[in-house]
């Protein structure tokens, strides 16, 4: 805590000055172009890994980068997405999973969650991920199965995203694009789901990957 | 989108190298000491404003930095907090609101949310904030009322936090601490709720503010 | 009622005899290949219009041929589909809307539902349909708007269907196929959604329409 | 699938002609007098077994002919019933179970439902049926116990039906009647619950059974 | 508050002595024969009006003596009834409404509940009562309509009660009895629903009213 | 039942007369100053133990004196409290647990609740109590653990109470006070939570205990 306080002090005395004009403008209004949905994991810093500045990314984070379906009680996830699309008019939505995800480990090992009943309940929103991994990757060794779960979960949550009224309607108009990413902590690489090859492929500067809207998933082998 | 791709490229070629060892260690396991709960607003970068490094902050973000009570369906918020406290053993939880919050504006102006039904539903988890503002700040001009809503909401959500089983039990043991912050976008200042004065006061390097656990709210005037 | 009793009597004395062997076999077990989901509307008789025999179609019917997302309380729809796919192993699922659908009229005219609160609540599972019609067909005359709602709703409910764990996993394996149909009461015609042309086209004997799995909806003009 | 397409073709070329006038009239509006609630089971064809024509029966079908109580989230069942009674003004509601019902087998053998979690959740709306069977028929051999479950479930779901506001109010006025039926697949017989004898008795042409509104259940032995 | 403290003191010094033996026995275990469900209204004292002693009545009280249907989230009402019937084995359940009930006034005047959203939500469990009053007593003057609402609500809640698994099963066995009462504050009279006359009649010592299990409601005119 | 009827007769012929004037006044309106929340246990008579008269106490009772958090479906508890505070303007709320509470026994022994699923579900609203007892009192013998559960549960439910909008807002104004009590059946004593000593202490006439609003719980040893 002491360290965070010191950090705030340093931010104010050293970092804020050059950003002062930006922040003054932003105080008037934000107009981010991208909604970035990722895990709460402390090892992910969306602004760092995309070199974004304040005002660039509207960010939604929870354990497992999960998006509950809209059919039940209104969730913070659905509300936040509705706000980003309906009120702020973002143009791109990125769902970004990551390697070594604790939530995905829990999904594959429900027996480890007896002391974490709320986590267990929450992961039911990734039941489709679990079923796909069980049905199609059951033969893989543990670490490969985890990678499969991480990748498949990004695709499953994109499907959930598509069912939101405001998202579904904007997709029809063609001015909203969905992207499925996986961040590899140990190398700093980012993989994007590629519709052509139906696999996650490393993002390279010259090859911007198309959106994953119509994603039909067959393979999941990139990482 | 193109810009994000470029950013990733620059991150990988320029920023990752010096952090490579840290990321390799982190790939083994994360052990953040702090859970940072804040708004999805694009103008907030928790790592920037606290000068934190990857691995330091477990971060939960949604529209309005709201924490639903545990009484209903399992929410992502409750699950993420349970994971942070029960599985990762964080020692501090910060709930950080911010000036010019669109969610708080919506809370005070429900009539602006007719096209955003999920947002309207979500803000019911801040119904106590709204009631307190209506009952006690109704006479204030609009901008002061918004500041009051932002501050009161931080305190209300801290109360919600206290009702989680894992949080309530750890608070009893005394090894978990709750903090209420408000980030002022236009100046870069961070205000923390101070139990003594029952007000939000600017965080200064030499004066680390105590935790807000027993917070009894009377005044809300700091910003 | 009297007429139904007479009908049962006639069925037993006249119709049952030729079907006796079939029914005896069916008493052992059912093994339908198709799950037929349609509206409760009295003008639709799935067995009549497909000339199916007892044992052929597993049939789910409700007002509006709606499939709630799995995110909330377990619905009869989700359970029935899970049973059809997971326990009976059906190979095809048809979602069949119909012209002059009262539920779709109610969806476009919520003001007509004040005395029918449960219907109003139920139609929230077609909120995406309503939003698409409002955003993209708002300029059409009433009767064309109703046709659009009927067609779009079939596609929206297919999207809902895709999010069920058991369905999503079977789609991956490729041995389950989804179909979107609209039945035109006044002519007896059946229209199927066609992926190529992205429109509903009349089913003809020689041209079996492919499945609508990856349906990306642009046009909806067939009827 | 191919066969269904052929069926549609035959229906259009052969069956539709004689029904054309009826269908044209029905296109204007439906006015069914009966709401028929039955299982999704492929072996039941309500129109066949009552020799009904298009327009006669408003039909609600799900796994187990179950009617959730109105106390929770709005279900398709409650909405469909509200529409039938409140908007269409049906005069009779039939809840029709059937022999060899897979849902009822699942109810008595929850251990068979581990791979069908949605079915297991759904059958909680028949918890009263299970409790009655356990408490009062526990001593019976398996096949008799199944028949008891099927019969009792019809009566339990009729009780659920009675709690709907629109149904309860219409029952008071006396112009809505409830009926409990069981269809015996292997013989084509239909049994109706008889208030006098408090048992299910075979429907015969000359003896129209009264309604089961006040049903106090003691015996269940007809099948 | 001061007065309650004084009351406790007097209870301890004056009233407890003669009850000491009873309370010592009761400390071992309670075995009440009756579950008494009534409104939270301060003017009702179930023990006073039935001259019951500690240990006699298991008492459930809420605003409006309402029993939510079991179809939704587990309510305190359903749990308390299950405990009374399943664990304590009570033999009689009394649902006791009362004249001048504020909850029933709110039910008839929803416009008076804008500042009481939780009350408004809660009264949805009496939606059937409201519908019956609207449909069948709409022509009555306000005070008669309120009496009708109070009486009808007792009958509606008894219907809700009948749908609980543990209650339904015990009713079948015949060793549980349901009673509908209305307490008239201004005269101290208690009226019980009488199956024969289908009306609420004053309870007289020599005429113990039968149970209201099969209650078919036609008239409601006693008070 | 016969005895209750006799009791009513005696109440009317003997007890009502001296209270007639009071009841006539009360028929006009109730204005209780206190909301008394306690268990449904038959051994508790709130009016007896506080020597209160009709009109003094607005009483909410359920198994375990539990107050669900407001985050889910509207509960009778939340509605009743809202009515007491918002419509009647009570000045004090007492949550009163008691020794030998069956609900608290069930909370500590979930394995005893397999036949009581609704009770098990209901006790989830006391999950924080269970967690605190497990974490901090696990070493105690069974009877001491039960006392700890009873005391801690009163404090946990007070925390739930504090999260209701109407309660939170009134607490801010300072004209609503919360009290935590435990009633000892075997001795007739009443213990109140004391903020100073952070323990439950016997209520004595001359020492009125302050309210438990800011209750920070450390010890629980009074009984
Ligand atoms: Zn993660
Ligand atoms: Zn904000
Ligand atoms: Zn329809
Ligand atoms: Zn069946
Ligand atoms: Zn009342
Ligand atoms: Zn108790």
pLDDT digits (tens, 9 = 90+) for E162-200: 999 999 999 999 999 999 999 999 999 999 999 889 999
Closest C-alpha among F206, F104, F90, F208 to residue F157: F104
* Residue A205: per-residue pLDDT: 57
Model confidence at C170: pLDDT above 50:
yes
pLDDT tens-digit series, residues C63-79: 999 999 987 778 999 99
Residues A84 and A146 in one domain: yes
Model confidence at E216: pLDDT above 50:
no
Model confidence at B28: pLDDT above 70:
yes
**Entry field: residues in chain D:** 223
Q: β-strands D92-98, D57-62: how paired?
A: unpaired
Quote the CA–CA distance of F194 and F219 in Å, as a whole number: 10
Phi, psi angle pair for F101, to nearest 5°: -70, 120
Q: Do residue D131 and residue E213 have CB atoms under 8 angstroms apart? A: no
Burial code (b: 16+ CB inside 10 Å, e: under 16) for F181-190 equals bbbbbebbbb
* Residue A195: per-residue pLDDT: 84
Average pLDDT over residues C70-94: 94
* Residue C207: per-residue pLDDT: 52
Phi, psi angle pair for F202, to nearest 5°: -60, 135
pLDDT tens-digit series, residues C96-121: 999 999 999 999 999 999 999 999 99
Token code pair at residue A88: 């702020």
Average pLDDT over residues F75-87: 98
Residues D23 and D117 in one domain: no
* Residue B205: per-residue pLDDT: 57
3-state DSSP assignment of residue C62: strand
**Entry field: residues in chain B:** 223
- Kindly state the helix (H) or strand (E) to which residue C216 belongs, with its residue range: none
Residue D203 lies in a domain: yes
Question: How near does any CA of chain A get to the CA of B219, in Å?
Answer: 23
Question: How near does any CA of chain F get to the CA of B159, in Å?
Answer: 7
* Residue B207: per-residue pLDDT: 52
> Containing domain of residue B173, as a range?
31-218
**Distances in whole angstroms, Cα of residue D117 to Cα of each of C78, D41, D106, E147:** 10, 19, 11, 46
User: What is the separation, in whole angstroms, between the first and last Cα of chain F?
Assistant: 36
Residue C223 lies in a domain: no
Which residue of chain A is at minimal alpha-carbon distance from B16?
Answer: A188
pLDDT tens-digit series, residues D115-158: 999 999 999 999 999 999 999 999 999 999 999 999 999 999 99
Per-residue pLDDT band for F57 (boundaries 50, 70, 90) equals very high
Q: β-strands E177-184, E189-194: how paired?
A: antiparallel
Residues A64 and A101 in one domain: yes
Model confidence at B87: pLDDT above 90:
yes
Q: Please, which contacts does A196-203 make with residues 24 or more away whose CB atoms are closer than 8 Å?
A: A200/A151, A203/B5, A203/B8, A203/B9
**Entry field: residues in chain A:** 223
Per-residue pLDDT band for E214 (boundaries 50, 70, 90) equals very low
Per-residue pLDDT band for C215 (boundaries 50, 70, 90) equals very low
Residues B64 and B108 in one domain: yes
pLDDT tens-digit series, residues A5-35: 999 999 999 999 999 999 999 999 999 999 9
Q: Which of A11-15, F91-95, F107-111 has the lowest mean pLDDT?
A: A11-15
What order of strands is seen across the sheet that includes strand A34-39?
Answer: A199-202, A189-194, A177-184, A92-98, A34-39, A57-62, B57-62, B34-39, B92-98, B177-184, B189-194, B199-202
* Residue D221: per-residue pLDDT: 38
Residues C20 and C46 in one domain: no
Closest C-alpha among D216, F196, B195 to residue E195: D216
What total number of domains does chain D contain? 2
Per-residue pLDDT band for B132 (boundaries 50, 70, 90) equals very high
Which residue of chain E is at minimal alpha-carbon distance from F87?
Answer: E116
Phi, psi angle pair for F204, to nearest 5°: -115, 155
Give the residue from B16, B28, B42, B109 with the most A CB atoms within 10 Å of its CB, the best one to mutate.
Answer: B42
pLDDT tens-digit series, residues B51-65: 999 999 999 999 999
Annotated binding site of A for Zn(2+): 39, 41, 98, 101
Physical contact, E and A (3 or more Cβ pairs within 8 A): no
Neighbours of chain A (3+ CB pairs under 8 A): B, C
Residues C22 and C69 in one domain: no
* Average model confidence (pLDDT) across chain A: 91
Q: Do residue E163 and residue D159 have CB atoms under 8 angstroms apart? A: yes
Give the residue from B76, B93, B223 with the most A CB atoms within 10 Å of its CB, the best one to mutate.
Answer: B76
Phi, psi angle pair for D79, to nearest 5°: -65, -40
Size of interface E-F (CB pairs under 8 A): 270
Whole-prediction pTM: 0.93
Which residue of chain A is at minimal alpha-carbon distance from B4?
Answer: A50
Taking the CA of residue F108 as centre, how many other CA atoms within 13 Å lie in the half-sphere pointing to its CB? 24
Q: Which residues of A touch C (CB under 8 A)?
A: 68-73, 125, 127-128, 130-132, 135-136, 156, 159-160, 162-166, 168-169, 172-173, 213-214, 216-218
Question: How near does any CA of chain C get to the CA of D55, in Å?
Answer: 5
Per-residue pLDDT band for F222 (boundaries 50, 70, 90) equals very low
Q: Do residue E169 and residue D68 have CB atoms under 8 angstroms apart? A: no
* Residue C206: per-residue pLDDT: 53
**Quick one: DSSP state of residue A55?**
T
Provide, as residue numbers in chain C, all residues whose Cβ is less than 8 Å from the Cβ of D38.
none
Average pLDDT over residues D82-108: 98
Per-residue pLDDT band for B217 (boundaries 50, 70, 90) equals very low
Residue F223 lies in a domain: no
F175 is in an annotated binding site: no
Residues E12 and E50 in one domain: no
Average pLDDT over residues B117-122: 96
Tokens 């172009």 belong to: A33
* Residue B196: per-residue pLDDT: 86
Residues D119 and D72 in one domain: yes
The larger pLDDT score, comparing residue D149 to residue D173, is at: D149
* Residue E207: per-residue pLDDT: 52
* Residue F70: per-residue pLDDT: 84
Find the ligand nearest to F154 CA. 6
- Kindly state the helix (H) or strand (E) to which residue A190 belongs, with its residue range: strand A189-194
- Kindly state the helix (H) or strand (E) to which residue E204 belongs, with its residue range: none
Residues A68 and A8 in one domain: no
**Distances in whole angstroms, Cα of residue F167 to Cα of each of B139, D119, F86, F103, F210:** 21, 41, 9, 26, 18
Model confidence at C208: pLDDT above 60:
no
Provide, as residue numbers in chain D, all residues whose Cβ is less than 8 Å from the Cβ of C201.
none
**Entry field: residues in chain E:** 223
pLDDT tens-digit series, residues A203-214: 975 554 445 544
* CB neighbourhood size of B218 (10 A): 11
* Residue F74: per-residue pLDDT: 87
Residue B223 lies in a domain: no
Neighbours of chain E (3+ CB pairs under 8 A): D, F
* Residue E218: per-residue pLDDT: 34
Task: CATH number of the domain at E176, please.
Answer: 3.40.1050.10
* Residue F206: per-residue pLDDT: 53
Residues E199 and E211 in one domain: yes
Token code pair at residue E2: 């001061």
Token code pair at residue B165: 């089983």
Q: State what percent of residues in chain F have pLDDT above 90.
A: 86
Quote the CA–CA distance of D212 and A162 in Å, as a whole number: 46
Quote the CA–CA distance of C58 and C45 in Å, as a whole number: 13
Closest C-alpha among B40, B67, D175 to residue E135: D175
F143 is in an annotated binding site: no
Phi, psi angle pair for B41, to nearest 5°: -50, 135
A215 CA → ligand 1 middle, Å: 22
Per-residue pLDDT band for C46 (boundaries 50, 70, 90) equals very high
Question: How near does any CA of chain A get to the CA of B136, in Å?
Answer: 26
* Residue E164: per-residue pLDDT: 97
Residues F44 and F119 in one domain: yes
Q: β-strands F34-39, E199-202: how paired?
A: unpaired
Residue F173 lies in a domain: yes
Q: State what percent of residues in chain C have pLDDT above 70.
A: 91
Which conformational region is residue D85 in: left (phi greater than 0), alpha (psi within -120 to 50 degrees), or beta? alpha
Residue E108 lies in a domain: yes
Average pLDDT over residues D3-28: 93
Residues F96 and F20 in one domain: no
Quote the CA–CA distance of B67 and B103 in Å, as a whole number: 13
Closest C-alpha among E12, B201, A205, D40 to residue F184: E12
* Residue C116: per-residue pLDDT: 97
Residue B79 lies in a domain: yes
Residue E223 lies in a domain: no
What order of strands is seen across the sheet that includes strand E177-184?
Answer: E199-202, E189-194, E177-184, E92-98, E34-39, E57-62, F57-62, F34-39, F92-98, F177-184, F189-194, F199-202
Model confidence at E219: pLDDT above 80:
no
Give the residue from E6, E45, E91 with the most F CB atoms within 10 Å of its CB, the best one to mutate.
Answer: E45
Q: State what percent of residues in chain D have pLDDT above 90.
A: 86
Provide, as residue numbers in chain E, all residues whose Cβ is less than 8 Å from the Cβ of D68.
71
Sorted by sequence, the CB contacts under 8 Å of residue C68 that are 6+ apart come out as: A71, C75, C77, C78, C125, C160, D76
Q: State what percent of residues in chain C have pLDDT above 90.
A: 86
């Amino acid at each position: 805590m002491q360290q965070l306080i010191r950090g705030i002090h340093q931010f104010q005395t050293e970092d804020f000055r050059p950003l002062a004009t930006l922040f003054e403008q932003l105080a008037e209004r934000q107009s981010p172009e991208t909604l970035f949905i990722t895990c709460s994991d402390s090892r992910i810093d969306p602004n760092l890994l995309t070199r974004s500045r304040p005002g660039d990314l509207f960010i939604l984070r929870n354990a497992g980068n999960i998006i509950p379906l809209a059919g039940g009680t209104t969730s913070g996830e659905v509300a936040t997405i509705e706000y980003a699309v309906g009120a702020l008019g973002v143009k791109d939505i990125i769902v970004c999973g990551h390697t070594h995800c604790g939530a995905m480990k829990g999904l594959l090992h429900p027996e480890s969650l007896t002391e974490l009943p709320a986590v267990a309940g929450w992961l039911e929103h990734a039941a489709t991920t679990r079923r796909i991994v069980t049905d199609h990757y059951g033969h893989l060794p543990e670490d490969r199965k985890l990678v499969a779960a991480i990748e498949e979960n990004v695709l499953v949550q994109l499907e959930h995203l598509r069912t939101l009224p405001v998202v579904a309607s904007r997709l029809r108009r063609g001015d909203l694009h969905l992207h499925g990413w996986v961040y590899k902590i140990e190398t700093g690489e980012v993989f994007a789901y590629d519709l052509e090859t139906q696999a996650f492929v490393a993002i390279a500067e010259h090859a911007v990957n198309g959106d994953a809207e119509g994603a039909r998933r067959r393979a999941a082998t990139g990482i």
